[in-house]
Structure 1
Amino acid sequence: MTIFTINEVTKTFTNGEVDEQVLKGINLSLQEGEITALIGASGSGKSTILTIAAGLQSATDGQILFHGKNMTDMSQEQIRKIRASEFGFVFQSSHLVPFLTVEEQLLLMLDVSETKLSKRARNEEIEKILQWVDMNHRKNAYPSSLSGGEKQRVAIARAIIHKPKILFADEPTASLDSKRSKDVMTLIRKLTKTLQITTLMVTHDDEMLPYADRIITMKDGLIL
């Protein structure tokens, strides 16, 4: 089932008196429970399309449809609510809050997403998610004591604790070695399939491509 559609999206940046069109009419549909990988050289536009799809910046023209609703017609507050409740984010850096424990990172995400659960249900959900990412034994640890791979597993747990419909992953393994990269991608694929999350991922690493269901190559602001 199609859950997300990008229709004729363009993006132009102005640098002084020069306009640079970095996206030139992108069309892309994302299917439920599918991992789509965007690949291409630096400057091809793949990270730009991901941030526009995620509502982190606006398109110059075109439509972004989520569950058939046009996000380009929504207010910033409406988009913020969708980002908080329906989207999950994993980036190259884990961006964990340094003064919060692993458990508190997840509690904060439940608060931000306005997930309505009882205290007991929240604790049970955190327990389950941390078991999935093999971090339950570190739930009271602070980020400074975690390895790079552990931080990224916590970041993934935080991204999916509120059961988002879409996971946006921008170079999620770029800061990890080969083994930890494969561990993280195995985890992302497992969670995508278990929870039927739609994942859009940007990557430079060809070794991560076998974990994707579909690979989209971009060049000069176009899909090849």
Structure 2
Amino acid sequence: MVSNNVVFSNLVSNNLVSNKPAAWPLVLASGSPRRAELLQLLGRPFQVVLPQVPEQRTPSESAAAYVQRLAISKAEAGATLWRTKATANTTTNSLVLGSDTVVVVGYAQAHEQVLEKPRDFADFQRMMQLLSDTTHTVLTAVAVTQSAPLEPTTDVTMATMVATEVSFKALSEGEIAAYWASGEPQDKAGGYGIQGLAGRFVTHLQGSYFAVVGLPLYETAELLTRVETQQAGGQQ
């Protein structure tokens, strides 16, 4: 894996999607159909690669540090994988986007718990009991690696993170069991998909709905613009 420079950016532009043609092709380093669907809403074509990145949180790692590390690792691993797929005469630079989402109970507190994909029904049931009748935080990090195939050591990664608070109603055991039986929770961080059947559990949301689904549109568009602006400035 290439060791890149990482810049965490505060995004301030008011434009959601730039009308200027993208300087570099875009690559999504994710197999998530939800992220692919959301990225399509930005109105620019992209390719997909599937990097293999271990998702293991270290004991002392905060939820915020963990989700940002995974997003950066996926973008950088995706850039490396994209190079191997390029033909010998391909010299086109690319932007490789990685993202990760975790659900957190007790965010930024000493006892914070990270809820990832449920291992089985018992694990899912535990998660739903934690989320029932309370507010939790969904963290989604996005990283974009500026990938130059001929000079990989010059790669630069920029990243951002979005925190969204989500409140659930009180869940009965019957509702929890029925939701598991639907088949929807098994591949979802925190054991639920807000865009699906679990949407009826949500009583309040503060932040980015799209970030909870898997990719914050505004922040992603702004991050791509910032990376492209930096790239254009470097070529002047």
TM-score normalized by structure 2? Answer: 0.29
TM-score normalized by structure 1? Answer: 0.30
Q: Flag the structure with larger Rg.
A: 2
Higher relative contact order (CA 8 A, sep 6+): 1
